[in-house]
Chain A
Amino acid sequence: MKKQHTLQKDSLFLLPSLTGVCIFVLIPFADVARRSFTTLGGSRFIGLQNYRTVWGNAAFQLALGNTLKFLGISLPLLLALSLLLANLAYFGGMGLYRNFCLLPMAVPTAALVFVWKALFHQSGAINSFFHISIDWLHSSHAFAVLTASFLWKNMGYYVILWATGLENIPKSLYEASSLDGAGPFAQFWHITLPGLKPMSSAVFTLALAGAFKSYRESYLLAGEYPDKSIYMVQHMFHNWFRDMAMDKMYAAAVVIVCLFAALVYPLRKKGGGNLDSFHA
Protein backbone atom coordinates (compact mmCIF):
# COMPACT_ATOMS: atom_id res chain seq x y z
CA MET A 1 0.00 0.00 0.00
CA LYS A 2 2.99 2.24 0.42
CA LYS A 3 3.22 2.56 -3.36
CA GLN A 4 -0.36 3.79 -3.60
CA HIS A 5 0.42 6.42 -1.00
CA THR A 6 3.52 7.69 -2.79
CA LEU A 7 1.59 8.06 -6.00
CA GLN A 8 -1.15 10.06 -4.28
CA LYS A 9 1.49 12.58 -3.22
CA ASP A 10 2.40 13.08 -6.86
CA SER A 11 -0.96 14.73 -7.34
CA LEU A 12 0.58 17.83 -5.70
CA PHE A 13 2.46 18.46 -8.95
CA LEU A 14 -0.90 19.31 -10.47
CA LEU A 15 -1.58 22.12 -8.05
CA PRO A 16 -0.11 25.16 -9.87
CA SER A 17 -1.82 24.25 -13.12
CA LEU A 18 -5.08 23.21 -11.51
CA THR A 19 -5.28 26.41 -9.47
CA GLY A 20 -4.94 28.49 -12.61
CA VAL A 21 -7.42 26.39 -14.56
CA CYS A 22 -9.92 26.75 -11.70
CA ILE A 23 -9.52 30.52 -11.47
CA PHE A 24 -9.52 31.24 -15.19
CA VAL A 25 -11.77 28.55 -16.60
CA LEU A 26 -13.65 26.21 -14.29
CA ILE A 27 -15.05 28.66 -11.71
CA PRO A 28 -16.05 31.33 -14.26
CA PHE A 29 -17.56 28.64 -16.44
CA ALA A 30 -19.55 27.24 -13.53
CA ASP A 31 -20.82 30.80 -13.06
CA VAL A 32 -21.76 30.93 -16.76
CA ALA A 33 -23.61 27.63 -16.43
CA ARG A 34 -25.50 28.95 -13.40
CA ARG A 35 -26.39 32.19 -15.18
CA SER A 36 -27.64 30.27 -18.21
CA PHE A 37 -30.64 29.21 -16.09
CA THR A 38 -31.47 32.72 -14.85
CA THR A 39 -32.63 36.07 -16.22
CA LEU A 40 -29.98 38.43 -17.58
CA GLY A 41 -29.38 40.10 -14.21
CA GLY A 42 -28.84 36.69 -12.66
CA SER A 43 -31.58 37.22 -10.10
CA ARG A 44 -34.42 34.92 -11.10
CA PHE A 45 -34.33 31.22 -11.99
CA ILE A 46 -36.09 30.64 -15.31
CA GLY A 47 -35.16 27.06 -16.06
CA LEU A 48 -34.57 26.26 -19.70
CA GLN A 49 -36.04 29.52 -21.03
CA ASN A 50 -32.67 30.77 -22.36
CA TYR A 51 -32.05 27.46 -24.07
CA ARG A 52 -35.42 27.64 -25.78
CA THR A 53 -34.69 31.20 -26.93
CA VAL A 54 -31.37 30.13 -28.40
CA TRP A 55 -32.86 27.11 -30.14
CA GLY A 56 -35.55 29.24 -31.79
CA ASN A 57 -33.12 32.01 -32.72
CA ALA A 58 -32.68 32.50 -36.48
CA ALA A 59 -29.00 33.43 -36.17
CA PHE A 60 -28.36 30.29 -34.14
CA GLN A 61 -30.06 28.06 -36.71
CA LEU A 62 -28.18 29.65 -39.59
CA ALA A 63 -24.85 29.47 -37.73
CA LEU A 64 -25.35 25.88 -36.59
CA GLY A 65 -26.36 24.76 -40.09
CA ASN A 66 -23.35 26.47 -41.67
CA THR A 67 -20.96 25.15 -39.06
CA LEU A 68 -22.22 21.60 -39.56
CA LYS A 69 -21.97 22.03 -43.32
CA PHE A 70 -18.41 23.36 -43.02
CA LEU A 71 -17.43 20.48 -40.73
CA GLY A 72 -19.22 17.96 -42.92
CA ILE A 73 -17.34 19.08 -46.02
CA SER A 74 -13.94 20.22 -44.77
CA LEU A 75 -13.22 17.45 -42.25
CA PRO A 76 -13.71 14.45 -44.60
CA LEU A 77 -11.74 16.31 -47.27
CA LEU A 78 -8.91 17.11 -44.86
CA LEU A 79 -8.71 13.63 -43.33
CA ALA A 80 -8.98 11.74 -46.63
CA LEU A 81 -6.55 13.95 -48.57
CA SER A 82 -4.02 13.99 -45.75
CA LEU A 83 -4.22 10.21 -45.46
CA LEU A 84 -3.59 9.90 -49.18
CA LEU A 85 -0.64 12.31 -49.01
CA ALA A 86 0.77 10.58 -45.93
CA ASN A 87 0.70 7.31 -47.87
CA LEU A 88 2.47 8.95 -50.79
CA ALA A 89 5.02 10.57 -48.49
CA TYR A 90 5.67 7.31 -46.64
CA PHE A 91 5.52 4.69 -49.42
CA GLY A 92 5.67 6.72 -52.60
CA GLY A 93 9.08 8.29 -52.26
CA MET A 94 7.72 11.77 -51.72
CA GLY A 95 9.41 12.18 -48.36
CA LEU A 96 10.60 15.62 -49.42
CA TYR A 97 7.07 16.92 -48.94
CA ARG A 98 7.38 16.28 -45.21
CA ASN A 99 10.07 18.96 -45.03
CA PHE A 100 7.69 21.67 -46.20
CA CYS A 101 4.25 20.50 -45.20
CA LEU A 102 4.34 22.18 -41.77
CA LEU A 103 5.26 25.64 -43.08
CA PRO A 104 1.65 26.74 -43.80
CA MET A 105 0.80 26.17 -40.15
CA ALA A 106 3.47 28.67 -39.11
CA VAL A 107 2.23 31.54 -41.29
CA PRO A 108 0.28 34.04 -39.13
CA THR A 109 -3.26 34.47 -40.39
CA ALA A 110 -3.02 38.28 -40.42
CA ALA A 111 -0.19 38.00 -42.98
CA LEU A 112 -1.79 35.17 -44.92
CA VAL A 113 -5.01 37.06 -45.65
CA PHE A 114 -3.09 39.61 -47.74
CA VAL A 115 -2.29 36.81 -50.18
CA TRP A 116 -5.81 35.41 -50.14
CA LYS A 117 -7.19 38.92 -50.70
CA ALA A 118 -4.83 39.56 -53.60
CA LEU A 119 -5.84 36.25 -55.15
CA PHE A 120 -9.58 36.25 -54.46
CA HIS A 121 -10.45 39.96 -54.65
CA GLN A 122 -13.08 40.86 -57.23
CA SER A 123 -10.32 42.32 -59.37
CA GLY A 124 -7.72 40.01 -57.89
CA ALA A 125 -5.18 37.73 -59.50
CA ILE A 126 -7.46 34.74 -60.06
CA ASN A 127 -10.24 36.73 -61.72
CA SER A 128 -7.72 38.70 -63.78
CA PHE A 129 -6.00 35.54 -64.94
CA PHE A 130 -9.16 33.75 -66.03
CA HIS A 131 -10.91 36.96 -67.18
CA ILE A 132 -13.87 36.32 -64.95
CA SER A 133 -15.57 38.48 -62.37
CA ILE A 134 -16.58 36.42 -59.40
CA ASP A 135 -16.88 38.05 -56.01
CA TRP A 136 -15.14 35.21 -54.17
CA LEU A 137 -15.09 36.74 -50.72
CA HIS A 138 -18.54 38.29 -50.45
CA SER A 139 -20.79 35.70 -52.02
CA SER A 140 -21.58 32.05 -51.48
CA HIS A 141 -18.15 31.33 -53.02
CA ALA A 142 -16.66 32.50 -49.72
CA PHE A 143 -17.47 29.05 -48.37
CA ALA A 144 -15.16 27.45 -50.92
CA VAL A 145 -12.40 29.99 -50.23
CA LEU A 146 -12.65 29.31 -46.50
CA THR A 147 -12.53 25.54 -47.05
CA ALA A 148 -9.50 25.89 -49.34
CA SER A 149 -7.74 28.09 -46.79
CA PHE A 150 -8.51 25.60 -44.02
CA LEU A 151 -7.15 22.72 -46.09
CA TRP A 152 -4.05 24.68 -47.05
CA LYS A 153 -3.20 25.57 -43.47
CA ASN A 154 -3.94 22.21 -41.83
CA MET A 155 -3.02 19.62 -44.43
CA GLY A 156 0.59 19.24 -43.25
CA TYR A 157 -0.40 18.71 -39.62
CA TYR A 158 -2.63 15.76 -40.52
CA VAL A 159 -0.15 14.32 -43.02
CA ILE A 160 2.33 14.19 -40.12
CA LEU A 161 -0.26 12.63 -37.80
CA TRP A 162 -1.13 9.88 -40.28
CA ALA A 163 2.53 9.36 -41.20
CA THR A 164 3.34 8.76 -37.53
CA GLY A 165 0.61 6.14 -37.48
CA LEU A 166 2.01 4.52 -40.63
CA GLU A 167 5.48 4.33 -39.11
CA ASN A 168 4.03 2.36 -36.21
CA ILE A 169 2.60 -0.36 -38.45
CA PRO A 170 5.16 -3.18 -38.61
CA LYS A 171 6.91 -3.25 -41.98
CA SER A 172 6.91 -7.05 -41.86
CA LEU A 173 3.14 -7.08 -42.44
CA TYR A 174 3.62 -5.35 -45.79
CA GLU A 175 6.52 -7.60 -46.75
CA ALA A 176 4.61 -10.75 -45.90
CA SER A 177 1.55 -9.62 -47.82
CA SER A 178 3.54 -8.73 -50.93
CA LEU A 179 4.97 -12.23 -50.88
CA ASP A 180 1.38 -13.44 -50.89
CA GLY A 181 0.78 -11.27 -53.93
CA ALA A 182 -1.26 -8.46 -52.37
CA GLY A 183 -1.32 -5.22 -54.39
CA PRO A 184 -1.05 -1.71 -52.92
CA PHE A 185 -4.83 -1.30 -52.69
CA ALA A 186 -5.32 -4.60 -50.90
CA GLN A 187 -2.50 -3.65 -48.53
CA PHE A 188 -4.06 -0.27 -47.86
CA TRP A 189 -7.43 -1.86 -47.16
CA HIS A 190 -6.27 -4.82 -45.07
CA ILE A 191 -3.14 -3.51 -43.32
CA THR A 192 -2.96 0.30 -43.36
CA LEU A 193 -6.58 1.12 -42.47
CA PRO A 194 -6.86 -1.38 -39.59
CA GLY A 195 -3.41 -0.26 -38.40
CA LEU A 196 -4.50 3.38 -38.28
CA LYS A 197 -7.86 2.67 -36.66
CA PRO A 198 -6.66 3.03 -33.04
CA MET A 199 -5.57 6.63 -33.67
CA SER A 200 -8.46 7.66 -35.89
CA SER A 201 -10.76 8.98 -33.17
CA ALA A 202 -7.97 11.16 -31.73
CA VAL A 203 -7.16 12.50 -35.21
CA PHE A 204 -10.81 13.23 -35.86
CA THR A 205 -11.21 15.09 -32.57
CA LEU A 206 -8.10 17.20 -33.19
CA ALA A 207 -9.36 18.05 -36.67
CA LEU A 208 -12.73 19.05 -35.29
CA ALA A 209 -11.15 21.40 -32.76
CA GLY A 210 -8.85 22.73 -35.48
CA ALA A 211 -11.78 23.45 -37.78
CA PHE A 212 -13.20 25.93 -35.28
CA LYS A 213 -9.98 27.95 -35.51
CA SER A 214 -10.76 28.89 -39.11
CA TYR A 215 -12.71 31.80 -37.62
CA ARG A 216 -9.51 33.83 -37.81
CA GLU A 217 -9.34 33.49 -41.59
CA SER A 218 -13.03 34.12 -41.93
CA TYR A 219 -12.97 37.23 -39.72
CA LEU A 220 -9.92 38.77 -41.39
CA LEU A 221 -11.16 37.99 -44.90
CA ALA A 222 -14.81 38.91 -44.57
CA GLY A 223 -15.21 40.84 -41.33
CA GLU A 224 -17.85 40.59 -38.62
CA TYR A 225 -20.76 40.34 -41.03
CA PRO A 226 -19.61 37.90 -43.71
CA ASP A 227 -21.73 36.40 -46.45
CA LYS A 228 -24.56 34.29 -45.07
CA SER A 229 -22.90 31.12 -46.31
CA ILE A 230 -19.97 31.43 -43.88
CA TYR A 231 -21.82 32.86 -40.90
CA MET A 232 -20.82 30.29 -38.28
CA VAL A 233 -21.24 29.60 -34.60
CA GLN A 234 -18.12 31.66 -33.86
CA HIS A 235 -19.56 34.73 -35.61
CA MET A 236 -22.76 34.28 -33.66
CA PHE A 237 -20.88 34.26 -30.36
CA HIS A 238 -18.92 37.40 -31.31
CA ASN A 239 -22.04 39.24 -32.41
CA TRP A 240 -24.00 38.28 -29.32
CA PHE A 241 -21.07 39.38 -27.24
CA ARG A 242 -20.95 42.75 -28.94
CA ASP A 243 -24.70 43.15 -28.50
CA MET A 244 -24.32 42.12 -24.86
CA ALA A 245 -26.84 39.30 -25.40
CA MET A 246 -25.11 37.42 -22.61
CA ASP A 247 -28.09 35.22 -21.66
CA LYS A 248 -28.05 33.61 -25.09
CA MET A 249 -24.25 33.31 -25.02
CA TYR A 250 -24.28 31.50 -21.69
CA ALA A 251 -26.84 28.94 -22.82
CA ALA A 252 -25.12 28.33 -26.17
CA ALA A 253 -21.73 27.93 -24.46
CA VAL A 254 -23.12 25.29 -22.10
CA VAL A 255 -24.63 23.37 -25.02
CA ILE A 256 -21.35 23.35 -26.95
CA VAL A 257 -19.30 22.29 -23.91
CA CYS A 258 -21.68 19.34 -23.44
CA LEU A 259 -21.24 18.37 -27.10
CA PHE A 260 -17.45 18.42 -26.75
CA ALA A 261 -17.61 16.50 -23.47
CA ALA A 262 -19.54 13.72 -25.19
CA LEU A 263 -17.14 13.74 -28.09
CA VAL A 264 -13.98 13.54 -25.97
CA TYR A 265 -15.36 10.79 -23.72
CA PRO A 266 -13.75 7.91 -25.66
CA LEU A 267 -10.34 9.64 -25.48
CA ARG A 268 -10.18 10.02 -21.72
CA LYS A 269 -7.38 8.55 -19.65
CA LYS A 270 -8.20 5.13 -18.28
CA GLY A 271 -8.73 5.34 -14.53
CA GLY A 272 -8.73 2.78 -11.77
CA GLY A 273 -5.34 3.43 -10.21
CA ASN A 274 -3.56 0.33 -11.49
CA LEU A 275 -0.08 0.67 -12.81
CA ASP A 276 -0.78 -1.47 -15.85
CA SER A 277 -1.79 1.63 -17.75
CA PHE A 278 1.89 2.54 -17.82
CA HIS A 279 2.65 -0.46 -19.96
CA ALA A 280 -0.54 -0.57 -21.97
Chain B
Amino acid sequence: MIRSTLKTLLLLILCGLSLLPIFLLWVGSITGKHELALSLAGILEGQGQTCFPLFPAFPTLRGYLEVLLDTPEFYVVFWNSVKVTFFIVAGQLLTSIPAAWGFSRWHGAFSSFLFYLYTILMLLPFQVTMASNYLVVDRLGIMDSHAAIILPAVFSTFPVFLTYRYFIGIPEEIFEAFSLDSSSHFRMFWHIGVPLAAPGAKAAMLLCTIEYWNLLEQPLLFLKTPSLWVFSLYLPNIGKENAPYAFVFSFLVLFPMCLASFLQKETLQKGIGAMALKQ
Protein backbone atom coordinates (compact mmCIF):
# COMPACT_ATOMS: atom_id res chain seq x y z
CA MET B 1 0.00 0.00 0.00
CA ILE B 2 2.72 2.46 1.03
CA ARG B 3 4.84 1.18 -1.82
CA SER B 4 2.21 1.94 -4.44
CA THR B 5 1.52 5.38 -2.95
CA LEU B 6 5.22 6.17 -3.08
CA LYS B 7 5.35 4.94 -6.65
CA THR B 8 2.43 7.12 -7.69
CA LEU B 9 3.99 10.08 -5.94
CA LEU B 10 7.32 9.58 -7.68
CA LEU B 11 5.56 9.15 -11.01
CA LEU B 12 3.66 12.40 -10.48
CA ILE B 13 6.84 14.25 -9.54
CA LEU B 14 8.69 12.94 -12.58
CA CYS B 15 5.93 13.74 -15.07
CA GLY B 16 5.35 17.08 -13.33
CA LEU B 17 9.02 18.02 -13.55
CA SER B 18 9.11 17.10 -17.25
CA LEU B 19 6.09 19.25 -17.98
CA LEU B 20 6.61 22.14 -15.53
CA PRO B 21 8.55 24.61 -17.72
CA ILE B 22 6.18 24.01 -20.63
CA PHE B 23 3.23 24.55 -18.31
CA LEU B 24 4.73 27.73 -16.85
CA LEU B 25 5.33 29.19 -20.31
CA TRP B 26 1.74 28.40 -21.24
CA VAL B 27 0.42 30.03 -18.06
CA GLY B 28 2.59 33.07 -18.78
CA SER B 29 1.25 33.23 -22.32
CA ILE B 30 -2.39 33.47 -21.23
CA THR B 31 -1.76 35.90 -18.40
CA GLY B 32 -2.66 39.53 -19.03
CA LYS B 33 -0.07 42.28 -19.17
CA HIS B 34 -0.88 43.80 -15.78
CA GLU B 35 -1.19 40.55 -13.93
CA LEU B 36 2.12 39.35 -15.37
CA ALA B 37 3.83 42.61 -14.43
CA LEU B 38 2.58 42.10 -10.89
CA SER B 39 3.64 38.48 -10.50
CA LEU B 40 7.01 38.97 -12.20
CA ALA B 41 7.72 42.27 -10.44
CA GLY B 42 10.90 40.87 -8.92
CA ILE B 43 12.44 40.27 -12.31
CA LEU B 44 10.94 43.08 -14.35
CA GLU B 45 11.43 45.87 -11.82
CA GLY B 46 14.51 44.39 -10.16
CA GLN B 47 12.84 44.61 -6.77
CA GLY B 48 9.99 42.96 -4.92
CA GLN B 49 8.89 39.39 -5.25
CA THR B 50 8.32 36.92 -8.03
CA CYS B 51 5.65 34.32 -7.76
CA PHE B 52 4.52 32.20 -10.62
CA PRO B 53 0.75 31.82 -10.36
CA LEU B 54 -0.29 28.28 -11.24
CA PHE B 55 -3.20 29.75 -13.12
CA PRO B 56 -3.94 33.37 -14.03
CA ALA B 57 -6.81 35.06 -12.22
CA PHE B 58 -7.97 36.50 -15.54
CA PRO B 59 -6.85 34.25 -18.38
CA THR B 60 -6.75 36.07 -21.68
CA LEU B 61 -5.81 35.38 -25.28
CA ARG B 62 -4.94 39.00 -25.92
CA GLY B 63 -1.23 38.23 -25.97
CA TYR B 64 -1.76 35.76 -28.80
CA LEU B 65 -3.85 38.27 -30.74
CA GLU B 66 -1.21 40.94 -30.38
CA VAL B 67 1.64 38.66 -31.42
CA LEU B 68 -0.26 37.11 -34.31
CA LEU B 69 -1.86 40.31 -35.60
CA ASP B 70 0.36 43.22 -34.59
CA THR B 71 3.88 41.79 -34.53
CA PRO B 72 5.22 41.35 -38.06
CA GLU B 73 8.64 40.37 -36.65
CA PHE B 74 7.07 37.21 -35.32
CA TYR B 75 6.22 36.00 -38.81
CA VAL B 76 9.61 36.96 -40.20
CA VAL B 77 11.63 35.01 -37.65
CA PHE B 78 9.12 32.17 -37.41
CA TRP B 79 9.17 31.54 -41.16
CA ASN B 80 12.94 31.94 -41.26
CA SER B 81 13.14 29.14 -38.71
CA VAL B 82 10.68 27.02 -40.66
CA LYS B 83 12.59 27.60 -43.90
CA VAL B 84 16.01 26.82 -42.44
CA THR B 85 14.78 23.71 -40.62
CA PHE B 86 12.85 22.45 -43.64
CA PHE B 87 15.71 22.74 -46.11
CA ILE B 88 18.21 21.22 -43.70
CA VAL B 89 16.04 18.20 -42.92
CA ALA B 90 14.98 17.71 -46.57
CA GLY B 91 18.60 17.89 -47.72
CA GLN B 92 19.65 15.45 -45.02
CA LEU B 93 16.96 13.02 -46.10
CA LEU B 94 18.12 13.11 -49.74
CA THR B 95 21.79 12.50 -48.97
CA SER B 96 21.73 10.40 -45.82
CA ILE B 97 19.47 7.52 -46.87
CA PRO B 98 21.65 6.58 -49.89
CA ALA B 99 24.79 7.06 -47.79
CA ALA B 100 23.48 4.78 -45.02
CA TRP B 101 22.53 2.21 -47.66
CA GLY B 102 26.03 2.45 -49.12
CA PHE B 103 27.62 1.86 -45.73
CA SER B 104 25.40 -1.14 -45.03
CA ARG B 105 26.14 -2.80 -48.40
CA TRP B 106 29.76 -1.86 -48.97
CA HIS B 107 32.26 -3.54 -46.70
CA GLY B 108 35.98 -3.27 -46.43
CA ALA B 109 38.69 -1.37 -44.70
CA PHE B 110 38.02 1.92 -46.49
CA SER B 111 34.28 1.75 -45.79
CA SER B 112 35.06 1.15 -42.13
CA PHE B 113 37.45 4.06 -42.06
CA LEU B 114 34.88 6.42 -43.60
CA PHE B 115 32.25 5.22 -41.18
CA TYR B 116 34.64 5.89 -38.32
CA LEU B 117 35.12 9.44 -39.63
CA TYR B 118 31.35 9.90 -39.89
CA THR B 119 30.89 8.74 -36.29
CA ILE B 120 33.51 11.22 -35.04
CA LEU B 121 31.88 14.05 -37.00
CA MET B 122 28.46 13.16 -35.58
CA LEU B 123 29.72 13.59 -32.03
CA LEU B 124 31.97 16.66 -32.39
CA PRO B 125 30.73 19.80 -30.64
CA PHE B 126 30.01 22.66 -33.04
CA GLN B 127 32.69 24.86 -31.47
CA VAL B 128 35.41 22.49 -32.66
CA THR B 129 34.39 22.74 -36.30
CA MET B 130 33.49 26.42 -35.98
CA ALA B 131 36.81 27.63 -37.44
CA SER B 132 36.70 25.27 -40.43
CA ASN B 133 33.01 25.99 -40.93
CA TYR B 134 33.75 29.71 -41.00
CA LEU B 135 36.57 29.25 -43.51
CA VAL B 136 34.38 27.38 -45.98
CA VAL B 137 31.36 29.68 -45.61
CA ASP B 138 33.63 32.65 -46.18
CA ARG B 139 35.29 31.03 -49.20
CA LEU B 140 31.92 30.19 -50.80
CA GLY B 141 30.76 33.78 -50.32
CA ILE B 142 27.54 32.78 -48.54
CA MET B 143 28.20 34.66 -45.29
CA ASP B 144 25.10 36.34 -43.82
CA SER B 145 22.64 34.20 -45.78
CA HIS B 146 20.50 31.20 -44.92
CA ALA B 147 22.70 29.06 -47.17
CA ALA B 148 25.52 29.51 -44.62
CA ILE B 149 23.37 27.69 -42.06
CA ILE B 150 21.63 25.21 -44.33
CA LEU B 151 24.43 23.81 -46.53
CA PRO B 152 26.87 22.68 -43.80
CA ALA B 153 23.99 21.24 -41.74
CA VAL B 154 22.67 19.16 -44.66
CA PHE B 155 25.85 17.10 -44.47
CA SER B 156 25.57 16.40 -40.77
CA THR B 157 26.39 12.73 -40.33
CA PHE B 158 23.88 11.99 -37.57
CA PRO B 159 21.02 10.89 -39.90
CA VAL B 160 23.44 8.64 -41.83
CA PHE B 161 24.46 6.94 -38.60
CA LEU B 162 20.88 6.47 -37.42
CA THR B 163 19.49 5.18 -40.76
CA TYR B 164 22.49 2.83 -41.04
CA ARG B 165 21.38 1.28 -37.77
CA TYR B 166 18.06 0.33 -39.36
CA PHE B 167 19.67 -1.04 -42.54
CA ILE B 168 22.05 -3.43 -40.81
CA GLY B 169 19.10 -5.22 -39.26
CA ILE B 170 17.90 -6.41 -42.70
CA PRO B 171 18.42 -10.17 -43.15
CA GLU B 172 20.76 -11.05 -46.01
CA GLU B 173 18.17 -13.49 -47.47
CA ILE B 174 16.11 -10.53 -48.68
CA PHE B 175 18.98 -9.30 -50.84
CA GLU B 176 19.73 -12.76 -52.15
CA ALA B 177 16.13 -13.29 -53.19
CA PHE B 178 16.18 -9.97 -54.99
CA SER B 179 19.46 -10.33 -56.83
CA LEU B 180 18.15 -13.54 -58.49
CA ASP B 181 15.81 -11.63 -60.75
CA SER B 182 17.43 -8.24 -60.88
CA SER B 183 20.95 -6.93 -60.90
CA SER B 184 20.24 -3.24 -60.81
CA HIS B 185 21.76 -1.62 -57.75
CA PHE B 186 19.53 1.37 -57.91
CA ARG B 187 16.36 -0.74 -58.16
CA MET B 188 17.45 -2.79 -55.17
CA PHE B 189 17.99 0.43 -53.21
CA TRP B 190 14.66 1.82 -54.32
CA HIS B 191 12.57 -1.31 -53.76
CA ILE B 192 14.24 -2.73 -50.64
CA GLY B 193 16.32 0.02 -49.10
CA VAL B 194 13.93 2.96 -49.18
CA PRO B 195 10.87 1.14 -47.79
CA LEU B 196 12.92 -0.53 -45.06
CA ALA B 197 14.59 2.75 -44.17
CA ALA B 198 11.27 4.53 -43.72
CA PRO B 199 10.94 4.09 -39.93
CA GLY B 200 14.59 5.00 -39.39
CA ALA B 201 14.38 7.99 -41.70
CA LYS B 202 11.23 9.16 -39.92
CA ALA B 203 12.95 8.96 -36.54
CA ALA B 204 16.03 10.74 -37.90
CA MET B 205 13.84 13.47 -39.43
CA LEU B 206 12.03 14.06 -36.16
CA LEU B 207 15.21 14.20 -34.08
CA CYS B 208 16.83 16.51 -36.64
CA THR B 209 13.78 18.78 -36.82
CA ILE B 210 13.88 19.18 -33.04
CA GLU B 211 17.63 19.79 -33.16
CA TYR B 212 17.65 22.34 -36.00
CA TRP B 213 14.53 24.16 -34.85
CA ASN B 214 16.58 24.88 -31.73
CA LEU B 215 19.64 26.03 -33.69
CA LEU B 216 21.59 28.81 -32.00
CA GLU B 217 25.37 28.77 -32.48
CA GLN B 218 25.47 28.81 -36.30
CA PRO B 219 22.94 31.65 -36.77
CA LEU B 220 24.74 33.59 -34.05
CA LEU B 221 27.94 33.28 -36.03
CA PHE B 222 26.74 33.66 -39.60
CA LEU B 223 23.57 35.80 -39.60
CA LYS B 224 24.07 39.52 -39.09
CA THR B 225 20.98 40.95 -40.85
CA PRO B 226 18.05 40.91 -38.40
CA SER B 227 15.53 40.12 -41.18
CA LEU B 228 17.33 36.78 -41.64
CA TRP B 229 17.28 35.86 -37.95
CA VAL B 230 15.76 32.66 -36.65
CA PHE B 231 13.66 32.81 -33.49
CA SER B 232 16.55 31.67 -31.25
CA LEU B 233 18.27 34.97 -32.03
CA TYR B 234 15.14 37.10 -31.77
CA LEU B 235 13.64 35.73 -28.53
CA PRO B 236 16.48 36.73 -26.16
CA ASN B 237 16.28 40.28 -27.55
CA ILE B 238 12.66 40.87 -26.57
CA GLY B 239 12.86 43.60 -23.96
CA LYS B 240 11.49 43.39 -20.46
CA GLU B 241 8.68 45.79 -21.33
CA ASN B 242 7.40 43.18 -23.77
CA ALA B 243 7.57 40.25 -21.35
CA PRO B 244 4.02 39.04 -22.20
CA TYR B 245 5.01 38.68 -25.88
CA ALA B 246 8.06 36.68 -24.88
CA PHE B 247 5.84 34.09 -23.22
CA VAL B 248 3.38 33.91 -26.12
CA PHE B 249 6.23 33.74 -28.61
CA SER B 250 8.00 31.02 -26.61
CA PHE B 251 4.88 28.95 -26.38
CA LEU B 252 4.20 29.28 -30.11
CA VAL B 253 7.67 27.99 -31.01
CA LEU B 254 7.76 25.15 -28.50
CA PHE B 255 4.22 23.89 -29.06
CA PRO B 256 4.69 22.38 -32.56
CA MET B 257 7.80 20.48 -31.45
CA CYS B 258 6.28 19.21 -28.21
CA LEU B 259 3.11 18.13 -29.98
CA ALA B 260 5.05 16.31 -32.71
CA SER B 261 7.30 14.54 -30.23
CA PHE B 262 4.33 13.53 -28.09
CA LEU B 263 2.31 12.18 -31.03
CA GLN B 264 5.32 10.39 -32.50
CA LYS B 265 6.76 9.15 -29.24
CA GLU B 266 7.00 5.50 -30.37
CA THR B 267 8.96 6.49 -33.50
CA LEU B 268 11.26 8.69 -31.42
CA GLN B 269 11.81 6.03 -28.78
CA LYS B 270 12.67 3.42 -31.40
CA GLY B 271 15.05 5.83 -33.11
CA ILE B 272 16.81 6.77 -29.89
CA GLY B 273 17.05 3.12 -28.91
CA ALA B 274 18.60 2.25 -32.28
CA MET B 275 21.45 4.67 -31.58
CA ALA B 276 23.04 2.46 -28.96
CA LEU B 277 21.79 -1.03 -29.65
CA LYS B 278 24.33 -3.58 -30.86
CA GLN B 279 22.84 -5.29 -33.88
A157-B272, A208-B123 as given contacts; A103 in contact with B103, CB under 8 Å: no
Contact with B along A15-38 (1 / 0, CB 8 A): 011101101111111011000000
- Whether a CB of chain B sits under 8 angstroms from the CB of A273 is yes
- Cβ B24 vs Cβ A110 within 8 A: no
- Cβ A28 vs Cβ B121 within 8 A: no
A16-B99, A103-B18, A110-B216 as given contacts; A160 in contact with B269, CB under 8 Å: yes
A12-B102, A107-B258 as given contacts; A271 in contact with B108, CB under 8 Å: yes
Residues of B near A237 (CB, < 8 A) are 127-128, 130
Residues of A near B17 (CB, < 8 A) are 152
- Cβ B120 vs Cβ A264 within 8 A: yes
- Cβ A21 vs Cβ B43 within 8 A: no
- Whether a CB of chain A sits under 8 angstroms from the CB of B117 is yes
Residues of B near A241 (CB, < 8 A) are 130-131, 134, 221
- Whether a CB of chain A sits under 8 angstroms from the CB of B246 is yes
- Whether a CB of chain A sits under 8 angstroms from the CB of B1 is no
A125-B51, A264-B123 as given contacts; A118 in contact with B40, CB under 8 Å: yes
Contact with B along A153-165 (1 / 0, CB 8 A): 0001100110111
Query: Which residues of chain A from 258 to 274 have a CB within 8 Å of any chain B CB?
Result: 260-261, 263-265, 267-274
- Whether a CB of chain B sits under 8 angstroms from the CB of A171 is no
Give the CA-CA distance A279 to B172 in the complex, in Å: 8
| Residue in A97, A114, A267, A279 whose CB lies within 8 Å of B15 | A97
Known: A103-B262, A168-B277. 17 other contacts (CB 8 A): A9-B185, A13-B105, A14-B98, A21-B117, A99-B265, A108-B231, A111-B235, A111-B253, A118-B50, A160-B272, A163-B273, A165-B273, A199-B277, A213-B125, A220-B216, A241-B134, A267-B119
A28-B135, A32-B131, A118-B43 as given contacts; A199 in contact with B276, CB under 8 Å: yes
- Cβ B118 vs Cβ A21 within 8 A: yes
Q: Which residues of A contact B (CB under 8 A)?
A: 6-14, 16-18, 20-21, 23-29, 31-32, 85, 88, 92-94, 96-119, 121, 123-125, 127-129, 152, 156-157, 160-161, 163-165, 167-168, 198-199, 202-203, 205-206, 208-209, 212-213, 215-216, 219-220, 233-234, 237-238, 241, 246, 249-250, 253, 256-257, 260-261, 263-265, 267-275, 277-280
User: In the complex, which of the residues A102, A108, A168, A256 has the most CB atoms of chain B within 10 Å of its own CB atom?
Assistant: A108
A112-B21, A268-B115 as given contacts; A17 in contact with B160, CB under 8 Å: yes
Nearest CB to that of B206 among chain A residues? A106
6 contacts between A and B (CB under 8 A): A14-B98, A107-B254, A109-B216, A198-B278, A238-B127, A268-B119
Give the CA-CA distance A25 to B49 in the complex, in Å: 50
Give the CA-CA distance A164 to B235 in the complex, in Å: 36
- Whether a CB of chain A sits under 8 angstroms from the CB of B65 is no
Give the CA-CA distance A164 to B136 in the complex, in Å: 39
- Cβ B21 vs Cβ A275 within 8 A: no
- Cβ A257 vs Cβ B124 within 8 A: yes
Residues of B near A113 (CB, < 8 A) are 236
Residues of A near B10 (CB, < 8 A) are 88, 94
Residues of B near A9 (CB, < 8 A) are 185
- Cβ A128 vs Cβ B261 within 8 A: no
- Cβ A264 vs Cβ B127 within 8 A: no
- Cβ A13 vs Cβ B99 within 8 A: yes
Residues of B near A267 (CB, < 8 A) are 119
Residues of B near A111 (CB, < 8 A) are 25, 235, 249-251, 253-254
Nearest CB to that of A164 among chain B residues? B273
User: In the complex, which of the residues B120, B125, B276 has the most CB atoms of chain A within 10 Å of its own CB atom?
Assistant: B276
Give the CA-CA distance A195 to B125 in the complex, in Å: 30
Give the CA-CA distance A18 to B179 in the complex, in Å: 26
Give the CA-CA distance A176 to B193 in the complex, in Å: 40
Residues of A near B172 (CB, < 8 A) are 275, 278-279
- Cβ B127 vs Cβ A202 within 8 A: no
Rounded to whole Å, the gap between the CB of A96 and the closest CB of chain B is 6
Residues of A near B136 (CB, < 8 A) are 23-24, 27-28
